[in-house]
Amino acid sequence: MNSITARNKSEKRFKMYGKVAVTVAISFLVILLYNIFSSGISAFKQTYVAVQLDIPANLDKKTLNPRSELNKSFLKMFPDLQSRAEKRAALSLLSKGARYEFKDLLLNNEGKDLNGYYWFLASSDLDMYIKGTVKRQGDTAGRIDEYQMKLIDILQSKI
């Protein structure tokens, strides 16, 4: 009888150890999944830049060059830009895909006025800064230089 009692106690301990191990494994899995999703949720958000457009309805939108028209409209928001390097720095805040968004906007609004602010995809550097992935260090943040940071501050003040 003594060996059966000891065997039963040993079996109960073994079952308890198994339940504790499964509970610990599930706890670590939950912690791991939480860390993955909490740090990766920002990937499902995108940053956009508001660009003020003033395109009359009587203008044939099919003949417009979407890239140059978007660039002109965006640069009008910063009237104090002088040099080519300053303009290039400002335009680098827009994504390469912004011109395609602008082209779609032109095609979908043929015969309509495009007045006011319209939102276009921001560059990846600006996106990382806005999301907080890249922290501001003085007048720079990651690959954003001092001049671009001034332009970002101007854009944020207009919102």
Parent domain of 112 = 45-158
* Same domain, residue pair 70 and 137: yes
Element (H, E) at 75: helix 66-76
**Quick one: pLDDT at residue 18?**
95
CA distances from 128 to 136, 147, 149, 157 (A): 11, 17, 13, 19
- Digit-coded pLDDT (tens) for 102-112: 888 888 887 78
Evaluate if pTM is beyond 0.85.
no
| Residue 108 and residue 126 share a domain | yes
Specify the number of domains making up the chain.
Answer: 2
Looking at the fold, whether 19 and 67 belong to one and the same domain comes out as no
Verify that 133 and 77 share a domain, yes or no. yes
Using a pLDDT cut of 90, give the percent of the chain over it: 19
